[in-house]
Amino acid sequence: GAGVSQSPRYKVAKRGQDVALRCDPISGHVSLFWYQQALGQGPEFLTYFQNEAQLDKSGLPSDRFFAERPEGSVSTLKIQRTQQEDSAVYLCASSLTLAGENEQFFGPGTRLTVL
Amino acid sequence: KQEVTQIPAALSVPEGENLVLNCSFTDSAIYNLQWFRQDPGKGLTSLLLIQSSQREQTSGRLNASLDKSSGRSTLYIAASQPGDSATYLCAVSTQGGSEKLVFGKGTKLTVNP
């Protein structure tokens, strides 16, 4: 596609439910990132993939958060047993090659509200 | 640990004014610095990317400078327009680790007609 797409755009979950957020990066982009943005804050790093390899997951807040990119393209961020503090916008970004040398392009985000 | 600070947190200016947004970072060992624009309820739009070897980048009415040794960047917006109203975010990619971006909290700009 022309840009990074994310689905769903909005998700409301009851506390304790599991959710899955999808990211479709720009075709051919090697690097993929997930960020979490709380209201009024800048995005914060969650995890990074280079192709299908998850090279950095140091930003994942707890073991309830899990991300995968099994075929090196589409990625899914899964949150188990959601809690109210998980409410945020989840942003996905992709980059052509090594992200340190290239621009990151962001999707529109998924706004998660946990009741 | 890289930390990014943006000043001011909010700025309100009349239409037509030239303005400067500031960004500072604590670790000068960066790959690059990006400026983004974020409209309410939207994702991030990349405005300018400055590689660590560069001093500035220009796109239309926007000019971004980078002083890596002092850990500072500025985004200059010329002849501001109401359509420039948005939150502007600065982010750096630091060497020696993951390729992740570390963001500031942003500057919320309002341009009044």
Q: Which amino acid is at A56?
A: D
Strands A10-13, A110-114: pairing is: parallel
CB contact under 8 A, A44 and B103: yes
- List of residues 6+ apart from A83 with CB closer than 8 A: A15, A64, A114
Question: Above 70 in pLDDT, residue A99?
Answer: no
For chain A, counts of helices (H) and of strands (E): 0, 11
Closest C-alpha among A41, A72, A47, A48 to residue A62: A47
CB contact under 8 A, B102 and A45: yes
Q: Which long-range contacts (CB under 8 A, 24 or more apart) does A14-19 make?
A: A14/A82, A14/A114, A14/A115, A15/A82, A15/A83, A15/A84, A15/A114, A15/A115, A16/A81, A16/A82, A17/A81, A17/A82, A18/A78, A18/A79, A18/A80, A18/A81, A18/A82, A19/A78, A19/A79, A19/A82, A19/A112
Question: Above 70 in pLDDT, residue A1?
Answer: no
pLDDT tier at A100, thresholds 50, 70, 90: low
C-alpha–C-alpha distance, residues A25 and A106, integer Å: 9
**In the predicted model, what is the mean pLDDT of residues B83-110?**
91
Question: Which pLDDT does position B97 carry in this prediction?
Answer: 62
Question: Which pLDDT does position B81 carry in this prediction?
Answer: 97
**In the predicted model, what is the mean pLDDT of residues B92-97?**
79
Question: Which pLDDT does position A112 carry in this prediction?
Answer: 97
Cβ pairs bridging A and B (under 8 Å) = 69
User: For A47-97, how does the pLDDT look when each residue is reduced to its tens digit (9 = 90+)?
Assistant: 999 999 999 999 999 999 999 999 999 999 999 999 999 999 999 999 987
DSSP-derived secondary structure letter, B68: T
pLDDT above 90 covers a percentage of chain B that reads: 83
**Torsion (CA) B96, B100, B102, B103 in degrees, nearest 10:** 160
Query: How far lies A68's CA from each of A47, A56, A79, A91, B18, in Å?
Result: 10, 12, 12, 15, 45
Q: Closest chain B residue to A107 measured between Cα atoms? A: B43
Question: Above 80 in pLDDT, residue B53?
Answer: yes
Q: Which residues of chain A neighbour B44 with C-beta distances below 8 Å?
A: 43, 91, 93, 106
**Mean pLDDT over the full length of chain A:** 93
Q: Are A45 and A33 in contact (CB under 8 A)?
A: yes
Question: Which pLDDT does position A103 carry in this prediction?
Answer: 85
Task: Mutate one of A31, A101, A105, A112 to test the B interface: name it (highest B CB count within 10 A).
Answer: A101
Question: Which pLDDT does position A2 carry in this prediction?
Answer: 79
C-alpha–C-alpha distance, residues B33 and A44, integer Å: 16
pLDDT tier at B89, thresholds 50, 70, 90: very high
CB contact under 8 A, A56 and B49: no
pLDDT above 70 covers a percentage of chain B that reads: 98
Question: Which pLDDT does position B41 carry in this prediction?
Answer: 84
Question: Above 90 in pLDDT, residue A5?
Answer: yes
